[in-house]
């Protein structure tokens, strides 16, 4: 089983399983974004009205978080969840500044998300979501 644990193919499968499991749980069964942000209309728009494109977008975005995480983990000794929290906060802050203050596209979903939900609530949701995926990802890999 150690052979399976070290292949990129297996890690992609485990990532996919963790992503879809946690997304299903925290976005649809327990609508955590709606609970944290109290933005029912934006929640519905993102997770229901634009399901296909946003699910694909999130899959690759969180995948990027994982790539950054694995790189930084190789050069630092921080706790996994602290490191992922720092990554989420950094990316959310950069996105907030670019979307709200630089590009100022008021029609963009993320402009409305950041200005109505707020950076703190949006970041809190991302931190919980992505760290839950990381937890499940690591748990499954350790079981292989």
Domain boundary assignment for the chain: 2-143
**Burial class of residue 113, CB neighbours in 10 A (0-12, 13-18, 19+):** buried
What CA–CA distance (Å, rounded) separates 135 from 79?
12
Tokens 């050069």 appear where?
A: 75
Say what the pLDDT of residue 2 is: 54
Give the containing element (helix H, strand E) for 3: helix 2-5
**Higher-confidence residue: 25 or 5?**
25
Would you place residue 4 in the very low, low, confident or very high pLDDT band (cuts 50, 70, 90)? low
Both structure tokens of 45:
């728009």
Question: Do the beta carbons of residue 96 and residue 81 sit within 8 Å?
Answer: no
What CA–CA distance (Å, rounded) separates 64 from 85?
14
Region of 104 (left: φ > 0; alpha: ψ -120 to 50; beta: rest) is left
pTM, two decimal places? 0.90
CA max distance for the chain: 50
């Amino acid at each position: 089983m150690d052979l399976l644990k070290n292949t990129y193919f297996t890690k992609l499968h485990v990532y996919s399983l963790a992503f879809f499991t946690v997304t299903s749980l925290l976005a649809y069964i327990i609508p955590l974004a709606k609970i944290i942000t109290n933005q029912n209309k934006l929640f519905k728009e993102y997770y229901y009205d634009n399901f296909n494109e946003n699910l694909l977008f999130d899959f690759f975005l969180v995948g990027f978080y994982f790539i950054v995480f694995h790189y930084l983990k190789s050069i630092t000794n921080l706790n996994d969840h602290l490191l992922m929290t720092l990554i989420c906060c950094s990316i959310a802050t950069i996105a907030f500044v670019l979307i709200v203050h630089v590009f100022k596209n008021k029609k963009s979903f993320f402009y409305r998300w950041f200005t109505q939900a707020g950076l703190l609530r949006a970041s809190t949701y991302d931190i919980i979501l992505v760290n839950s995926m990381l937890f499940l990802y690591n748990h499954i890999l350790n079981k292989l």
